[in-house]
Amino acid sequence: MTQYIDIAVNLLSDRLKHDIDNIINDAATQYVSPLIVIGSDLDESAKAITLCQQYPYKLYCTTGVHPHNASSWDQHSKIRLALLAQQQTVVAIGECGLDYNRDFSPRSAQRKAFAAQLELACELNMPVLMHCREAHNDFIAIVNEYRANLPNALLHCFTGSKNELIECLAADLYIGITGWICDERRGQGLAQLVPLIPDNRIMAETDSPYLLPRNMRPKPKSSKNLPQYLPYIVEQMANLRQQLPQTLAQACYKNSCDFFQLPASENISCHS
């Protein structure tokens, strides 16, 4: 049986939060379980913890402040985030990082919040789930400042260039790949880079509800991406890497288990 972990699900987004039971169950029918719920600000992170407590072993979460929300970071944020991060269902600090594409928060605020969260991850000895869009030079400089003291670091939804990938791998980052590789308009550059990622550094994700794979057949009636579609993304990744889908799925699953330090249970056999 091929198992999968969706490492980035925005389950509390407006497009998903009203159908959580069905989303979890439909994913499980495709052997996609558990799901990692993303926290994008401190309030959402607290809600994610409460949600995960209602679905033991099926949901885990990250807690952090996304660069879009970096303006909300203040002198109290680090203390509050530290308390949230110590809850049992929390498996990483994040989603944190830099986004110079949309600049929803000033870049100086983004850098400050990102560095503070990496510092906290070092203090708590926790992995980080990170975001970078059109901000690689500042991103990798900040990451490298803290990398030696971080137990693990993941750049999710990678969409960068070959040189950026090489620098991320040199920093020993895990790389998360989404359905972006299925987009004939924007994803062809990334599709060419996927074979360069080592087996022990690659992970798969939907970033649901975003980035529905455009070449899915039959095409879903809704444009909403769902965790149940993760096997399709893995198959596309495997084809690009000239691997058997089961082989790549096993590698992604093991990498995800190792990264998030997921406990063994009747629903999770990460180290079997």
Residue 136 among known ligand-binding residues: no
With b meaning 16 or more CB within 10 Å and e meaning fewer, what string describes 139-168? bbebbeebbeebebbbbbbbbbeeebbebb
Residue 18 among known ligand-binding residues: no
Residue 271 among known ligand-binding residues: no
Which secondary structure element, helix H or strand E, spans residue 45, and what is its range? Answer: helix 42-54
Residue 41 among known ligand-binding residues: no
As a whole number of Å, the end-to-end CA separation of the chain is: 12
Assess whether the previous peptide bond of 167 is cis (omega < 30° from 0). Answer: no
Annotate 97-128 with DSSP letters as a single string: EEETTT-SS-HHHHHHHHHHHHHHHHHHT--E
H helices of 61-195, where?
77-85, 107-124, 136-146, 162-170, 188-193
Structure tokens that stand for 173 in this block: 């980052």
Structure tokens that stand for 185 in this block: 């308009």
DSSP, collapsed to helix, strand or coil, labels residue 265 as coil
Going by the annotation, the residues of the binding site are 95, 131, 156, 207
* Binding site listing for a divalent metal cation: 95, 131, 156, 207
